Amino acid sequence: MRIYVPATWPMLRTLVKTGVLDPIGGTAFALTPGLREAYTSGDDEELEYAALSHAARASLRLLSVEFGLGEDSTPARRVVVAADLDDVTLRPDLDDGAVRITGAVPFEAIAAVHVDTEEAEYAVREAAGAVDAADLGDLDAEFLVGEAEDHDLAWYDPSEVAYLVEG
């Protein structure tokens, strides 16, 4: 199953050093039956994009925590790692597209890495500070999150990740 793991820049650096990605809490997103039912229309490609978008919002939440801990040197870029794994457990109690994986994601299972460009950093930093309020229904905060989500994530081949984080 193709999964989308929310991540951050420091997690990418660790992936380059160790060859594995450790998802926070084992949480990822995928095109699950629940996600398919939540949308009234859309082909598999559009629904996969929805799963990736759920992971991108979760990446904002991770950035919010990092910035809250004073990790201001972390680039304000959403990161989503797409991987293919078989051992996945559905987690509809968390989200329609949420899944749980056990253990780390080996580099060999990674299909692509999606990362914000530098142009998105201001909007992403603002959105990371507002994502919790947006989740609670604050319309001004949702606007800030929407500003970040208006930026498309760039696609990288796994072989390019080392150059990306070193550059």
User: What is the per-residue pLDDT for 39?
Assistant: 85
Convert the chain into a string of H (helix), E (strand) and C (coil): CEEEEEECHHHHHHHHHHCEECCHHHEEEECCHHHHHHCCCCCHHHHHHHHHHHHHHHHHHHHHHHHHCCCCCCCCCCEEEEEECCCEEECCCCCCCEEEECCCEEHHHEEEEEECCHHHHHHHHHHHHHHHHHHCCCHHHHHHHHHHHCCCCEEECHHHHHHHHHC
pLDDT (average), residues 70-86: 90
User: What is the per-residue pLDDT for 42?
Assistant: 80
For the chain, give every domain's residue range. Answer: 2-118
pLDDT at 162 over 90: yes
pLDDT at 54 over 90: yes
pLDDT at 85 over 80: yes
pLDDT (average), residues 62-84: 89
pLDDT at 167 over 80: no
Mean pLDDT of the chain: 93
Residues 28-47 pLDDT 10s: 999 998 888 888 788 889 99
User: What is the per-residue pLDDT for 155?
Assistant: 97
